[in-house]
């Protein structure tokens, strides 16, 4: 049986290439669960892999795609049986193990989470790793005691995938949300998601004081670099920052001053290797706390053949919210 997939390979003659190909099912990697994929997504990491702009891919050839949702076809894993609807996020899929931008995937059953009945397969991928990461950030803030009455929460990279879901989640939970974006034209969109204030990213992009005016009780940051440094400097006493991305860079040109004078907490949030119980808790909370009606607002659906050109658009910052990939068209 053959199936359609994006396939990345490299050679001395052809260089680094990503192409839509027909592959034989016998080529699938080892795993104890085979999934018929319905939808995948296009994330920042997927776009880096497809374009080759960063060494995301660790093994060649590789099928990219860190997300997928589909139906179990075959399973030797005790937790899953044929017909089960499942989600996969992370675990190095699309980097060291063939991923979701294909019509078939063979995976380890320990990586899978049951699709919540609150969501259709397409809605689950409208959430995807970005939304699941946003929920992990909200859970991190809650564990640190951040409740709506503590004060406003700022979300950077707000028009992107993580940011869009974070704004929607926090607003529905009763927080006053300030959205930071480099795309002023998306202000109305962010207010529709629940933001009470929208600020230009330029305000945070240049070096500021080691300690600024106290503004935020908490933050969700997917940008890193100078933006994260400035956010930390503007936190209120005992504020909490959940950091989950590096779209602006891997560096952190900050000082220890906010941490030792204001007791600021910087929490790192990892979605790739997050333990299964925390994944399950995040998806349960998404089913409870995310308004499904907002998913259509933040989502654009494309076919598998459109994913390659869309990757360049995403890296250029010209994509709002989430890109859902229908792998069967």
Supply the pLDDT for residue 286: 98
The H or E element spanning position 36 is strand 33-42
Domains and CATH numbers, the chain: 2-115+298-326 (3.90.180.10), 129-268 (3.40.50.720)
Percentage of the chain with pLDDT > 90? 97
Supply the pLDDT for residue 249: 93
> Phi-psi bin for 284: left (phi > 0), alpha (psi -120 to 50), beta?
alpha
Mean pLDDT, range 172-190, rounded to an integer:
96
Q: Is the dihedral of CA 39, 44, 47, 49 positive or negative?
A: negative
CB 308 within 8 A of CB 6: yes
Q: Is the pLDDT of residue 150 over 90?
A: yes
* Dist. CA 300–CA 286, nearest whole Å: 20
Supply the pLDDT for residue 317: 87
* Dist. CA 13–CA 129, nearest whole Å: 35
Q: Is the dihedral of CA 268, 272, 275, 278 positive or negative?
A: positive
Dump pLDDT digits (tens) for 98-125.
999 999 999 999 999 999 999 999 999 9
Dump pLDDT digits (tens) for 235-252.
999 999 999 999 899 999
* Dist. CA 122–CA 325, nearest whole Å: 9
Dump pLDDT digits (tens) for 2-36.
999 999 999 988 899 999 999 999 999 999 999 99
Q: How many CA atoms lie within 13 A of 177 on its CB side?
A: 30
Under the banding of pLDDT at 50, 70 and 90, the label for residue 167 is very high
Supply the pLDDT for residue 1: 86
Mean pLDDT, range 304-328, rounded to an integer:
94
- CA neighbor of 113 nearest in space, from 35, 56, 42: 35
* Dist. CA 49–CA 43, nearest whole Å: 10
pTM: 0.94
Dump pLDDT digits (tens) for 62-79.
999 999 999 999 999 999
User: Average pLDDT, whole number, for the chain?
Assistant: 96
Mean pLDDT, range 221-226, rounded to an integer:
97
The H or E element spanning position 268 is strand 265-268
Dump pLDDT digits (tens) for 209-223.
999 999 999 999 999
- CA neighbor of 250 nearest in space, from 268, 235, 273, 275: 268
């Amino acid at each position: 049986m053959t199936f359609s997939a994006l396939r990345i390979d490299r050679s001395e003659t052809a260089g680094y290439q990503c192409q839509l190909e027909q592959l034989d099912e016998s080529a699938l990697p080892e795993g104890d669960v085979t999934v018929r994929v319905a939808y995948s997504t296009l994330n920042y990491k997927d776009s880096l892999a497809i374009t080759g702009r960063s060494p995301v891919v660790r093994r060649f050839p590789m099928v990219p795609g860190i997300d997928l949702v589909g139906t179990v076809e075959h399973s030797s894993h005790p937790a899953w049986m044929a017909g089960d609807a499942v989600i996969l996020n992370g675990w190095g899929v699309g980097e060291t193990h063939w991923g979701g931008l294909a019509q078939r995937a063979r995976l380890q059953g320990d990586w899978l989470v049951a699709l919540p009945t609150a969501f259709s397969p397409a809605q689950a991928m409208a959430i995807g790793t970005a939304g699941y990461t946003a929920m992990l950030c909200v859970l991190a803030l809650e564990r640190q005691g951040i409740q709506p009455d503590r004060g406003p929460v700022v979300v950077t990279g707000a028009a992107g995938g993580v940011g869009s879901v974070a704004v929607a989640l926090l607003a529905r939970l009763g927080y006053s949300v300030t959205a930071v974006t480099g795309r002023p034209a998306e202000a109305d969109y962010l207010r529709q998601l629940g933001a009470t204030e929208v600020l230009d990213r330029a305000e945070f992009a240049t070096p500021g004081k080691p300690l600024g005016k106290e503004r935020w009780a908490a933050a969700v940051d997917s940008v890193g670099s100078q933006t994260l440094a400035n956010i930390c400097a503007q936190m209120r006493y005992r504020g909490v920052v959940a950091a989950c991305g590096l779209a602006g860079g891997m560096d952190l040109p900050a000082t220890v001053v906010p941490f030792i004078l204001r007791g600021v907490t910087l929490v790192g949030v990892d979605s790739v290797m997050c333990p299964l119980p925390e994944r399950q808790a995040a998806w349960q909370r998404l089913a409870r706390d995310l308004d499904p009606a907002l998913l259509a607002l933040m989502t654009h659906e494309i076919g598998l053949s459109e994913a390659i050109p869309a990757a360049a658009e995403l890296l250029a910052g010209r994509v709002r919210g989430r890109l859902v990939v229908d792998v069967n068209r």
